[in-house]
Amino acid sequence: MTTVTIGKAGFRRELGTWDCGRAGPTLLVLAGIHGNEPAGALAVQRVLGRLQELELEVFGRVLAFAGNLQALHAGVRFLARDLNRRWLPEHTDALLARDPRADSEEDHEQRELLTLFQRAVSTARGPVVFVDLHTSSADGPPFVCMADTLDNRRAAMATGVPIILGIEELIDGASLEWFSQRGIVNFAVEGGRHEHPDTAANHEALLWLLLEFTGVLQSGQVDTAPWRAHLQQATAGLPPVVEIVHRQAITASDQFRMEPGFVNFQPVAAGQLLARDRHGELRAPSACRVMLPLYQALGDDGYFLARAVRPLWLRVAAALQWLHLDRIVHWLPGIRRDPRDHHTILVNPIIARWFVTEIFHLLGFRKERKRDAVLAFTRRWSLAHNRRLGPRP
């Protein structure tokens, strides 16, 4: 059955569905997990409306959900807590085991989303791709944030916008974590500034390209050239891939104030003043680029700093992961598997001292927090069946 259910007065949880009954990929879209970021929801509504208007026959389906409904209606990032921070297994398990009567506003939202996510995955008739649509409080071009698995990289590169690596190592419990634990291709998209008129169009362009890349739409069903040109113009001159090297975590007591005028990808010099807090000035430790500078009241990330990644290292990483060298890395001195989790490698930094983080990134691991005197690296999840993603011949 082919249906589209788009709310005309505000947003509903199920923003829309397009399903022609054919087996194929599921493109699962979440928009508005932060309530002051409605542009993604508007964009996916436009795409669903156009699919309905053209009566396009698709393989698989498109599912779109609104994230924090109560916050969207109030126009604020969140009410009680950030809905994009408690998606690790220990948090979701504790939520589901607790009496719902004790739920906060965001707990209630998360319960509903968990049910919808589980249903979407269990009823999929092919590979699943999850996309979380965001906007930011600063100006700048669209970009993708992802964990660097081969599957994620293939899908993200199909969008043609810059890719940001490493955020998942610094922020615990984003919605992407739930899908990563299940080996599902996933990434977040920052479309631009919250209220900028081009932001929803950036999201819309990216969704059309993903529909074609995943094979939900066949090549030629929709002319995607204008959408690709739109994104190329919006991101012209930017490095294709950057890696986060610093997160400025903040709390309300820090009295954080970003210096005015910064935009995403803005180059800064070593020592340049970035922000101030109750302790004084915050300056760039080295030449880098500023990402996601905070210009809103709520949030626990003041800014991120990033550096460009050379394409050579991406090719090296792809080759090493394709050869599955992660399976023998524990043979090296000072490195062993975690006896409680065979996906985690423990590193003694006294013995293994040289380029440890860089090497594990190349092998497809993410860095975790320190455990006593050792570093723990967890393998980024990837399922071979997702490599079936791609346009149909």
- Convert the pLDDT of each residue in 65-81 to its tens digit: 999 999 999 999 999 99
Whether the pLDDT of residue 208 is over 50: the answer is: yes
pLDDT band at 373 (very low <50, low <70, confident <90, very high): confident
Q: CA-to-CA distance for 2 and 238, rounded, in angstroms?
A: 40
Give me the pLDDT at residue 354, please.
Answer: 59
Q: Which DSSP letter does residue 380 get?
A: P
Lowest mean pLDDT: which of 32-36, 98-102, 363-367? 363-367
Lowest mean pLDDT: which of 113-117, 194-198, 252-256, 379-383? 379-383
Structure tokens at 59: 């393989």
Average pLDDT score over the chain: 89
Whether the pLDDT of residue 350 is over 80: the answer is: no
Mean predicted confidence (pLDDT) in 345-362? 73
Q: Which DSSP letter does residue 339 get?
A: T
Give me the pLDDT at residue 284, please.
Answer: 97
Structure tokens at 282: 């915050």
What fold characterizes domain 241-308? OB fold (Dihydrolipoamide Acetyltransferase, E2P) (2.40.50)
Tell me the per-residue pLDDT of 232-275, one tens digit each, with 9 for 90 and over. Answer: 999 999 999 999 999 999 999 999 999 999 999 999 999 999 99
Cα distances from 195 to residues 26, 166, 191, 218, 309, in angstroms, run 29, 26, 11, 33, 30
pLDDT band at 359 (very low <50, low <70, confident <90, very high): confident
Mean predicted confidence (pLDDT) in 69-97? 95
Between the two ends of the chain, the Cα-to-Cα distance in Å is 25
- Reference 262, options 116, 164, 137; nearest CA is 137
Structure tokens at 314: 């991406």
Mean predicted confidence (pLDDT) in 27-48? 97
Residue predicted with more confidence, 310 or 138 = 138
Whether the pLDDT of residue 388 is over 70: the answer is: no
Cβ atoms of 31 and 67 within 8 Å: the answer is yes
**Global pTM?**
0.88
pLDDT band at 4 (very low <50, low <70, confident <90, very high): very low
Q: Where are the domains of the chain?
A: 14-234, 241-308, 320-384
Mean predicted confidence (pLDDT) in 128-154? 94
Query: What is 14-234's CATH superfamily?
Result: Zn peptidases (3.40.630.10)
Which residues of the chain form beta strands (DSSP E)? 14-19, 26-31, 61-66, 128-136, 143-146, 163-165, 185-193, 241-249, 257-258, 266-268, 273-277, 280-283, 288-291, 301-308, 335-338, 341-347, 365-371, 374-379
Give me the pLDDT at residue 353, please.
Answer: 62
